[in-house]
Amino acid sequence: MFFNLSLDQSSMESPKNLIIVIFGASGDLTSRKLLPAIFSLNIQKLLPAKYAIVGIGRTKLSNEDFRTKTSEAIVLYSEEKVTDQNLVSEFVKNTYYHSMDSSSADDYTELKTLLKEIDSKYQIGGNYIFYMATPPSLYESITINLAISGLCKEEEGFRRIIIEKPFGYDLESGRKLNSTLHELISEDQIFRIDHYLGKETVQNLLVTRFANGIFEPLWNRNYVHRIEITSAENMGVGERGGYYDSAGALRDMVQNHMLQMVGLTAMEPPSSLDADAIRNEVLKVFQSFQPIKEEDVPLQVIRGQYTPSLIRGECVTGYRYEKGVLPTSRTETYVAIKFFINNWRWGGVPFYMRTGKRLPTRVTEIVVHFKQTPHHLFQREAGKISSNQLIIRIQPDEGILLKFDMKEPGAGFKVTNVNMDFHYRDLANTRVPAAYDRLLHDVMLGDGTLFSRDDEVETAWKFLEPIQKAWANNKAIKVFGYPAGTWGPEFANDLIEGEGLTWRYPCKNLADEELYCEL
């Protein structure tokens, strides 16, 4: 089930009847991602025979108002081509809306009554999923109120809670959140969602490694020179300046998305495809991170902040001028980290990860740089360093690229680097599911494979704690400016070990108006 290229009834079991309760139903996440994903599952016949969706929010809406908003969201954002409006009309009949203050315990009495009525009408059997599409500050109060009202008790059916990152803001708050949740519900009821792990290429990383005899023998310190993980965004913070200024790239991207990709890249083969077997191996990777000493943070971590720039003739504002951002802000919009994994497989191999906003393009990829041959026999371009690379493109244009050397036609042995690639888009008659399709369906089935466990979250925060402390305690550590539309601070290249080595730059400027991303 874990590695199928598409979601279809022939390969996926059907969930039990259920009610999906979405807190923050009038928000952007619900409109853009959640409702279209649930509709997509419905089109693929992957929803249970009987289901209902209940939106919760402060905004005063009637059921009909919410159904209209749901229809509009599906038409605007769904990856399914809506050619038959009747399908949308039938789908929204199962949606309801309830206006309440989710931080007020008294309001949960009415919610419980409403859910019982819908449960009886649809013969659900007590199976509820609570999705917190809210600010993280509300996670604890909503869970506490659900518990007080008895809505967390698994008496008849299951009760599951989905929370979005960030899972805390540091080690202390992450532990506190876990502790509060565990006092109220069990760990197997909690699904910490990371949409990156729902992407097909991330999941296929395990198949690439563990199903192919040509890769796994090379996937270690004997053959790998370094591993590089990049997650770049070409957009700024937009309307999220207020949130982002209290978070930054380290909390927003590294603690969850980036470290989970490191875990899947570096983990040992699991004993099975059981959720805990896979997550145990990811945890072992996190536990093997060589701690970064607080005094070494300036040597191993570069942080930056985008500054005003001219991109393709358009003036782009700097981060400190974005709405909701303090004019003296030191919040990082870019972070690059060099670190090591102290275990038998990876000892001595440097890992690099970088993420940033207002970079030249939107791209996420994992690059395995293999060691060069010990003796260079063949002619290359002057000053050019060549090595074999395996590039796993997560987004966009999902696929895998292998770079290796070939002889150029003609006399002599002049060598050129060539590509052997695979694109998911080339698969005929195969639908690559969107990340939220996969993840929501897994929650319905109770499959926690693609969700972060409590010990993973806390171990990730423990690794990042010295960086957070160094930035807080040592104001002399610089926040490097980088012009919007560039690949971040030039000092980030100093992290890469080896003469003449730099980060891989996935995209090349062909003209002022376009970028070409190789894959």
Average pLDDT of every residue of the chain: 87
pLDDT(9) > 70: no
pLDDT(100) > 50: yes
Please name the residues in contact with 178: beta carbons below 8 A apart, sequence gap of 6 or more.
Answer: 167, 168, 454, 457, 458
Residue type, 431: R
For the ranges 73-82, 201-210, 230-239, the one whose mean pLDDT is highest: 230-239
Candidates 515, 509, 486; CA nearest to 318 is 486
Residue 114: HSE in the Cβ half-sphere, 13 Å Cα cutoff: 20
pLDDT(352) > 90: yes
Burial class (CB in 10 A: 0-12, 13-18, 19+), 511: exposed
Q: What is the three-state SS of 107-176?
A: HHHHHHHHHHHHHHHHCCCCCEEEEECCCHHHHHHHHHHHHHCCCCCCCCCCEEEEEECCCCCCHHHHHH
For the ranges 38-47, 272-281, 286-295, the one whose mean pLDDT is highest: 286-295
The residues annotated with a catalytic role in the active site are: 257
How confident is the model over 394-411, as a mean pLDDT?
Answer: 78
Residue 297 is encoded by which pair of tokens?
């943070």
More confidently predicted of 261 and 5:
261
Q: Which of left, alpha, beta for 11 (phi over 0: left; psi -120 to 50: alpha)?
A: alpha
How many C-beta atoms lie closer than 10 Å to residue 21's C-beta? Answer: 25
Tell me the pLDDT band of 471, cut-offs 50, 70 and 90. very high
DSSP state of 408: P
Cβ 112 vs Cβ 149: under 8 Å: yes
pLDDT(271) > 70: yes
Which domains, and CATH codes, for the chain? 18-193 (3.40.50.720), 197-375+394-406+420-431+455-517 (3.30.360.10)
pLDDT at 98: 95
- How far apart (Å, rounded) are the C-alpha atoms in residues 346 and 326? 41
- How far apart (Å, rounded) are the C-alpha atoms in residues 69 and 82? 16
DSSP state of 375: S
Tell me the pLDDT band of 39, cut-offs 50, 70 and 90. very high
pLDDT(407) > 70: yes
- At 298-351, the pLDDT tens digits run 999 999 999 999 888 888 899 999 999 999 999 999 999 999 999 999 999 999
pLDDT at 380: 60
